Amino acid sequence: MKKALKITFVILFWIGIWYLAVLIYSLFKGMSLSYNPLFPYPHHVFLKLFELFSKGSFYLSTISSLIRILISTVIAVLLGIFCAVISSRFNFLHLFIQPLLSTIKSVPVTVFVFILYLLIFDFTSMFITILMVFPIVFANVYEGIKNIDKDLLEVCQAYKIPFGKRIKSLYLPTIMPYFVSALTSSIGLAWKAGIAAEALCPPDNSMGLHISLAKQNIDNEELFAWALTLIIINLLFEFAFKKLVKAAFKKWVPNEVKNENKKSN
Amino acid sequence: MKIRNLTKKFASKIIFDNATFEFIDGKITYITGKSGIGKTTLLRIIAGLDKAYTGEILGRSDKISYVFQEPRLFPNLTVSENISVTTDNSPYTVDMVLKLTELEKEKDALPSSLSGGMKMRIALARALYYNGDVFLMDEPFSALDDATKELILPKAFELLKDKTVIIVSHNIEEAKKYADTIIDINSPLNN
C-alpha cells in the first residue's frame, strides 16, 4: 500500500511539473493559458489518449508494432548468441565481425533508416531493431563465454564430464548473468529504435505511422498521447520481462545471492 | 604405468629431459621435490591435460581421478552435485564418500559457504566417487589439519588399495608414513 502511495505521489508530482512547464511556456510565448496546441496540458493529452483507446486502429497498430519488435528482438538475440558462440570457438570470426559492430556503433540509426528505406521499406523497423540489439547480445554473451573458468574446464576434461552436464553446471551459470544483462539493456533500446524507425519509414498498421501522421498534422496532443502509450507499454514490457527473467534465471543463481537479494529487498 | 623418455619444455626452460618414471599398480607413490621442478606438470601430463611433450606413457588407464592443487568446485552446484556430476556409474554413493570425508552435514551446502579444508575434502570425495583406476593428487592434504588427516586418510587409502595412486607433496613426513614408493624429482634430468 505504501509503495502504491509513493508511486502515485511521484506520478502526481511529475504531472504537476508538466502543468507548470506548459503554463510557463504559454506565458513566455504569449499564448492562451487555458489551451496550448503545441505544448498540450496533461488533461488534454489524457482525453486524447482515451479517444485513441476507443479506436480499433489503436489496438491494431500497437499490437502490430509490438509483434514486429518482439520478432526482431528474438531474431537479434538468437543471432547474437550464435555469433558469440562461434566467435569464441574460432577467433578469426570474432575479428571478422568487428567491422560490422564498429559500423553499427558509429553510424546513427537515422542513416541506417534512410539507407534501408529504399531497400526493404516494410521491414526497415525490424532490421533496425535487429541492428540495435544484436551487438549488445553478441558482446555480452561473447564476454561471458570468454570468462568461463579455465580451471573448471580442466576439471570437466579430467573427469570426462559429458557436454550436456558441462552446459548445465558450467557454461550456463557463467554466461546467464551476461545474457540477462544484455537482454535488460536491449529491451528498452529495441522498443525505442523500432518505433523511431517506424516513424521515419512507417509501415501499415504501426504506431510509427500514427506518430508520423500526428507530426505531419501538427497534432501534438496525439503525439503526446502516443508518447504516453509508448511509456506505458515499455513499463509493462520491462515489468513482464523482469518477472520472466526472475523465473527463468532462478536456478542458475546461487542460494546465498538469492538470500542477499531477499535481505536487500 | 610407465613414462618413457619424457621431454618437456616451457619456452627455453627444460623441465624433463628424456626422463623415465614407473608407477606400480596398487601402490601409493609420493612425488616430492622443490617448487617449480615439474611435479604438477608430471601429473598434468599423466592426466592428459598437457599434451605438449615428447615421450610415451605406457599402461595408462582412460579413467583418472584428479585432485587438483586447488579444490576447483563448481560454485553453482551443491556439495553432493559437485561430486555426482563426474559420473553416473560410480560403485559408491555420494553419501558414502561424504561420510568418508566427514562432510555428511554439508551435503546440500554450496562451496562458497565452506572452509578451504572442507572444499579440499569435497575435491577428494569427488575423486573417490569417480573411482578412477589412477588417482592423481596434487598437494591434496596441505589444507587439512593433522586430526582430520588422521581421520580421513586411512579410510581413503583403504578405498584406493587396488589403484595406482600418485601424490605430489612437500611433506616428507607424510610421504614416509603413507608411501610405498617415494620419487624425488629434485634432479629430473637424471630420472
Tell me what the pLDDT averaged over chain A comes to: 87
Output the nine-digit C-alpha cell for A238. Answer: 520491462
Same domain, A130 and A35: no
pLDDT computed for residue A255 by the predictor: 46
Say whether residue B81 is in contact with chain A using an 8 A CB cutoff.
Answer: yes
In this structure, is residue A101 part of a structural domain?
yes
Residue to mutate among A155, A176, A258, with most B CBs inside 10 A, is A155
Are B75 and A173 in contact (CB < 8 Å)? yes
Q: Is the pLDDT of residue A260 over 70?
A: no
Lowest mean pLDDT among A113-117, A206-210, B134-138, B147-151: A113-117
In this structure, is residue A44 part of a structural domain?
no
Residue to mutate among B45, B76, B84, with most A CBs inside 10 A, is B76
Classify the phi-psi angles of B102: left when phi > 0, otherwise alpha if psi is within -120 to 50, otherwise beta: left
Q: Which CATH number fits domain B2-190: 3.40.50.300, 3.30.300.180, 3.40.50.2300, 3.30.43.10?
A: 3.40.50.300
pLDDT computed for residue A44 by the predictor: 94
Same domain, A196 and A164: yes
pLDDT computed for residue A263 by the predictor: 43
Same domain, A12 and A56: no
Same domain, A25 and A129: no
The half-sphere exposure of B17 on its side-chain side, counting CA atoms within 13 A, is: 6
Are B76 and A254 in contact (CB < 8 Å)? yes
Same domain, A206 and A238: yes
Q: Say how many domains are in chain A.
A: 2
Same domain, A6 and A89: no
pLDDT computed for residue A238 by the predictor: 83
pLDDT computed for residue A250 by the predictor: 67
Decide: residue B189, CB within 10 A, 0-12 exposed, 13-18 middle, 19+ buried: exposed
- Cα–Cα distances (Å) from A177 to A57, A101, A173, A248, B37, in that order, read 39, 22, 7, 12, 40
Tell me what the pLDDT averaged over chain B comes to: 90
In this structure, is residue A72 part of a structural domain?
yes
Same domain, A90 and A155: yes
- Cα–Cα distances (Å) from A10 to A3, A13, A43, A100, A238, in that order, read 11, 5, 17, 42, 19
Say whether residue B151 is in contact with chain A using an 8 A CB cutoff.
Answer: no
Q: Is the pLDDT of residue A254 over 80?
A: no
Out of B49, B75, B77, whose CB is closest to A158?
Answer: B49
Q: How confident is the model at residue A256 (pLDDT cuts 50, 70, 90)?
A: very low
Q: Is the pLDDT of residue A109 over 50?
A: yes
CB B115 within 8 A of CB B138: no
Q: With beta carbons under 8 A apart, name residues in chain B contacting A254.
A: 75-76, 110, 112
Q: Is the pLDDT of residue A252 over 80?
A: no
Same domain, A29 and A125: no
Q: Which long-range contacts (CB under 8 A, 24 or more apart) does A53-58 make?
A: A57/A205, A57/A210, A58/A210
Its domain, for residue A16, covers 1-39
Q: Chain A residues within 8 A (CB-CB) of chain B?
A: 151-152, 154-155, 157-161, 165, 169-170, 173, 252, 254-256
In this structure, is residue A260 part of a structural domain?
no
The share of chain B scoring above pLDDT 70, in percent, equals 97
Q: With beta carbons under 8 A apart, name residues in chain A contacting B47.
A: 158
In this structure, is residue A216 part of a structural domain?
yes
Adjacent-strand bridge partners of B68: none
Lowest mean pLDDT among A35-49, A238-252, B132-146, B166-180: A238-252
Lowest mean pLDDT among A244-253, B66-75, B106-115: A244-253
The share of chain A scoring above pLDDT 70, in percent, equals 93
Q: Is the pLDDT of residue A201 over 90?
A: no
In this structure, is residue A160 part of a structural domain?
yes
In this structure, is residue A220 part of a structural domain?
yes
In this structure, is residue A263 part of a structural domain?
no
ipTM, 2 dp? 0.91
Q: With beta carbons under 8 A apart, name residues in chain B contacting A252.
A: 76
The CATH number covering residue A130 comes to 1.10.3720.10
Say whether residue B171 is in contact with chain A using an 8 A CB cutoff.
Answer: no
Q: How confident is the model at residue A108 (pLDDT cuts 50, 70, 90)?
A: confident
Same domain, A7 and A88: no
Backbone angles phi and psi of A117, in degrees to 5: -50, -45
Same domain, A126 and A4: no
Query: What is the DSSP secondary structure assignment for residue B164, as one 8-state letter?
Result: E
pLDDT computed for residue A117 by the predictor: 78
Same domain, A7 and A107: no
